[in-house]
Amino acid sequence: MQKIRAFHRQSIEHREEFWRREAQRIHWHEPFTEVLDYSRPPFARWYVGGRTNLCYNAVDRWAQIDPDLPALIWVSTEVDKEAVYSRADLAREVNAVAAMLRGLGVGKGDRVLIYLPMIAEAAFVMLACVRIGAIHSVVFGGFASHNLAQRIDDAQPKLVVSADAGSRSGKAVAYKPLLDQALASCAHPPAKVLLVDRGLVPFDAVAGRDVDYATLRARHDGAQEPVEWLESSEPSYVLYTSGTTGNPKGVQRDTGGYAVALAASMDYVFGGKPGDVYMSTSDIGWVVGHSYIVYGPLLNGQATVMYEGLPTRPDGAILWKLVEKYRINAVFSAPTAIRVLKKLDPGLLKRHDLSSLQALYLAGEPLDDTTANWISEGLGKPIIDNYWQTETGWPILSAQPGVEDVPTKFGSPSFPVYGFDVRVVSETTGEDLGPGQKGVVAVQPPLPPGAMSTIWGDDERFVRTYFTSFPGRMLYSTFDWGLYDQDGYWFILGRTDDVINVAGHRLGTREIEESLNSHPAVAESAVVGVADTLKGQVAVGFAVLKDPAALGDAQRALELENDIKRVIEQRIGAVARPARVRFVGALPKTRSGKVLRRAIVALCEGRDPGDLTTIEDPGALEQIKESIKDNAA
């Protein structure tokens, strides 16, 4: 482990020298004059003065080298279609879409909101945006109109790109009605909507607003759209993540630092080489989809597999079938997907030729030992757990086979990744803690290239949210508990705030509470994340009703619970639907009015709720206990 530790130490102690060398991985239209400007902590500007372009580095330069090699492989088991786009094909599509965007009035600095399923056009639009200097903001296709409207109003896009529908388990999920509803409620709706018609559901186009993608694409076939060279620190995209206040945070990413960080990570973390084939099973609506479906592999000259479908359809061998068919070298998925497969015939893991596969990478939620052992034995391949966040853009903790091949420990995302000065810190004193001591995982700034540069439109919130958690120290807080052992292996132990992780999807419990409270029958509520063997965590709600009479009527309570779940699904999306909504007469609170969420979680998980001396009404906690007696929470 000496090599990996020395490599990390060099990246921290000789930061500018280290990142100057890594910058050679990408093309610079104009050279940078300064590696790092950290004159205004905690804001870091990387590769100051350098001009580059994400699209040119991901598409153009590779299309000039072996243009016939595959670049984007799109597979949909939802609609039973596949398409392979060569490097030259990808360049042709992206140029055409860039011309389409410019024709619709989109230019440098304008925002384009993307509300698309996992189709190839989504990648084309993202790349076309950064080609012309527009800032894209992708919203996960499973989010409902309320969430979509929030993000439209915050980003104020000039254009929205959407589709008639996505698909899940072979059933169409209509997007157009959700989009129309969101736009109707927006304070800042865009003038134009570009629509991909997949022919999955009928819809009515809005005259003068809705533009058909295929028609416009045909008009711009063969276009050669010039690249907009951006100063390194200019934004490439905004990606919204759950906020603890209920208001989503627009994570703003730069251009040059992001390009360098991702290109380096494809080599050092994921062991990738130009010409390799890489697959991530995530969605473009999440940060993994941005970094490791669209940008990372393409920046490193690798083919990327974009998959629309479930890991169990048509059967539990589909991922391994794709590995065999396309000679995939690395797969990046989530522990939830593997836990689903674990319920199926283990023989499915042996059905296909996996000789091309070098490793399976898992992230998005804690990886338990049992699941890691099961998939490791079944595949006979290295299982590499890695830990990071929307805010960081690429892994904070991981084994790094491209630096040194070292043993992993199941349940641990291994070691700090180069560039991240990671600490375990006391929540109360801000002091660094030693091996085996539980604290908050934090990063000593400056954050490395590729990490968020600020919150869109709100520098003050960026500083307040991430850099003010510890007394007397300016540290970036991950809001995760963690520790490292005597051997230097790190372990993540759960959240310190009210963001929960459901099957790899980060959700703010405050957002769910706001939706729950919008129901006319609810007086107040608390939503907590409860451990779940399949999904990692599930949301469970506890509601105080305006009319307590419903508490004594089981049938009425069930109908009300289902109605509340529907409201949440309509406002946020199916991913946020609570596993249960329990009705209680009061919520357990401190004398200052703070809801004792940790105590509620402990009771739901069958643990000791700890010191309850601060509780105002002990009877409220008893009501929580009574409501979960059937263990369904």
Structure tokens at 364: 């998005």
Look at residue 495 and tell me if it is in a domain: no
Q: What is the CATH number of the domain that holds 582?
A: 3.30.300.30
Query: In the β-sheet with 359-362, what is the strand arrangement from edge to edge?
Result: 81-86, 70-76, 303-308, 277-280, 330-333, 359-362, 383-387, 397-398, 415-416
Q: Which of 395, 411, 427 is a domain's end point?
A: 411
Q: Whole-prediction pTM value?
A: 0.85
- Tell me the one-letter amino acid at 293: I
d(Cα 32, Cα 14) in Å, to the nearest integer? Answer: 18
- Tell me the one-letter amino acid at 39: S
Phi–psi pair at 160, nearest 5 degrees: -115, 135
Question: What's the mean pLDDT when you consider all of the chain?
Answer: 92
**Residue range 41-57: mean pLDDT, rounded:** 98
Contact (Cβ atoms closer than 8 angstroms) between residue 587 and residue 542: yes
Q: Which of 411, 442, 469 is a domain's end point?
A: 411
Look at residue 431 and tell me if it is in a domain: no
Q: Do 403 and 256 reside in the same domain of the chain?
A: yes
The 8-class DSSP code of residue 56 comes to I
Structure tokens at 208: 């003068």
Residues 6 or more apart whose Cβ sits within 8 Å of residue 56: 27, 29, 131, 227
Look at residue 452 and tell me if it is in a domain: no
Q: Do 190 and 287 reside in the same domain of the chain?
A: yes
Look at residue 568 and tell me if it is in a domain: yes
Q: Which H or E run contains 495?
A: strand 490-495
Q: Do 401 and 506 reside in the same domain of the chain?
A: no
Q: What is the pLDDT of residues 220-265, one digit of tens each?
A: 999 999 999 999 999 999 999 865 555 779 999 999 999 999 999 9
According to DSSP, the residues that pair with 537 across neighbouring strands are 531
Number of domain units in the chain: 2
Q: How many CB atoms lie within 10 A of CB 139?
A: 26
Q: How many helices (H) and strands (E) does the chain have?
A: 20, 32
Look at residue 61 and tell me if it is in a domain: yes
Any alpha helices (H) in 132-205, and if so which ranges? 145-155, 176-185
CA-to-CA dists, residue 455 to 285, 392, 492, angstroms:
18, 12, 25
Q: Is the pLDDT of residue 334 over 70?
A: yes
pLDDT for 592 equals: 47
Structure tokens at 512: 């769910």
Locate tokens 């068919």: which residue?
325
For the CA atoms of 64, 69, 72, 76, what is the dihedral angle to 10 degrees?
160
Q: What is the pLDDT of residues 113-122, one digit of tens each?
A: 999 999 999 9
Q: How many CB atoms lie within 10 A of CB 525?
A: 26
Q: What is the pLDDT of residues 378-402, one digit of tens each?
A: 999 999 999 999 999 999 999 999 9
3-class DSSP string for 5-50: HHHHHHHHHCHHHHHHHHHHHCCCCECCCEEEEEEECCEEEEEECC
Determine the 3-state secondary structure of 202 from DSSP.
coil
Structure tokens at 308: 């629309």
Structure tokens at 121: 């056009």
The rounded percent of the chain whose pLDDT value lies above 70 is 96
Look at residue 189 and tell me if it is in a domain: yes
Look at residue 362 and tell me if it is in a domain: yes
In this prediction, residue 515 has a pLDDT band, given cuts at 50, 70 and 90, of: confident
For the CA atoms of 165, 280, 316, 361, what is the dihedral angle to 10 degrees?
-150
Contact (Cβ atoms closer than 8 angstroms) between residue 136 and residue 116: no
Q: Do 170 and 297 reside in the same domain of the chain?
A: yes
Q: Do 348 and 234 reside in the same domain of the chain?
A: yes
In this prediction, residue 154 has a pLDDT band, given cuts at 50, 70 and 90, of: very high
Q: Do 407 and 504 reside in the same domain of the chain?
A: no
d(Cα 203, Cα 174) in Å, to the nearest integer? Answer: 9
Any alpha helices (H) in 238-334, and if so which ranges? 256-268, 287-289, 296-299, 318-326
Is residue 229 classed exposed, middle or buried when 0-12, 13-18 and 19+ CB atoms within 10 A define those classes?
middle
**Structural domain for 206, as ranges:** 45-411
CA-to-CA dists, residue 30 to 67, 231, 254, 343, angstroms:
25, 9, 16, 53
Q: How many CB atoms lie within 10 A of CB 327?
A: 14
Q: Do 504 and 379 reside in the same domain of the chain?
A: no
Q: What is the pLDDT of residues 56-75, one digit of tens each?
A: 999 999 999 999 999 999 99
Query: Of 94, 462, 32, whose CA–CA distance to 257 is shortest?
Result: 32
**Residue range 32-56: mean pLDDT, rounded:** 98
Contact (Cβ atoms closer than 8 angstroms) between residue 624 and residue 600: yes
Q: Do 99 and 216 reside in the same domain of the chain?
A: yes
Q: Do 391 and 528 reside in the same domain of the chain?
A: no
Q: Do 406 and 517 reside in the same domain of the chain?
A: no
CA angle, corner 130, sides to 125 and 136, nearest 5?
65
d(Cα 225, Cα 322) in Å, to the nearest integer? Answer: 34
pLDDT for 313 equals: 93
Q: Which of 387, 411, 435 is a domain's end point?
A: 411
Helix-strand-coil split of the chain, %, nearest 5: 35, 25, 40
Look at residue 478 and tell me if it is in a domain: no
Contact (Cβ atoms closer than 8 angstroms) between residue 490 and residue 367: no
The 8-class DSSP code of residue 590 comes to B
Residues 6 or more apart whose Cβ sits within 8 Å of residue 505: 286, 364, 575
Any alpha helices (H) in 496-596, and if so which ranges? 509-517, 554-571
Q: Give me the sign of the Cα torsion angle 174, 176, 178, 179.
A: positive
Q: What is the pLDDT of residues 273-309, one digit of tens each?
A: 999 999 999 999 999 999 999 999 999 999 999 999 9
Structure tokens at 555: 């049938």
Q: What is the CATH number of the domain that holds 197?
A: 3.40.50.12780
Instruction: Choose between 147 and 78: higher pLDDT.
Output: 78
Give the up-direction half-sphere exposure of residue 541: CA atoms within 13 A in the CB hemisphere: 31
Question: How far is C-alpha 24 from the geometric centre of its chain's CA atoms?
Answer: 28
In this prediction, residue 370 has a pLDDT band, given cuts at 50, 70 and 90, of: confident
Q: Do 405 and 511 reside in the same domain of the chain?
A: no
Q: What is the pLDDT of residues 521-568, one digit of tens each?
A: 988 888 998 988 888 889 999 998 888 777 777 888 889 999 999 999
Q: Which H or E run contains 216?
A: helix 213-219
Q: Is the pLDDT of residue 631 over 70?
A: no
Is residue 436 classed exposed, middle or buried when 0-12, 13-18 and 19+ CB atoms within 10 A define those classes?
exposed
The rounded percent of the chain whose pLDDT value lies above 90 is 72
Q: What is the pLDDT of residues 129-143, one digit of tens each?
A: 999 999 999 998 878
Structure tokens at 581: 């909504």
Radius of gyration of the chain (CA): 24
Contact (Cβ atoms closer than 8 angstroms) between residue 272 and residue 33: no
d(Cα 506, Cα 271) in Å, to the nearest integer? Answer: 27
Q: Do 396 and 506 reside in the same domain of the chain?
A: no
Instruction: Choose between 371 and 182: higher pLDDT.
Output: 182
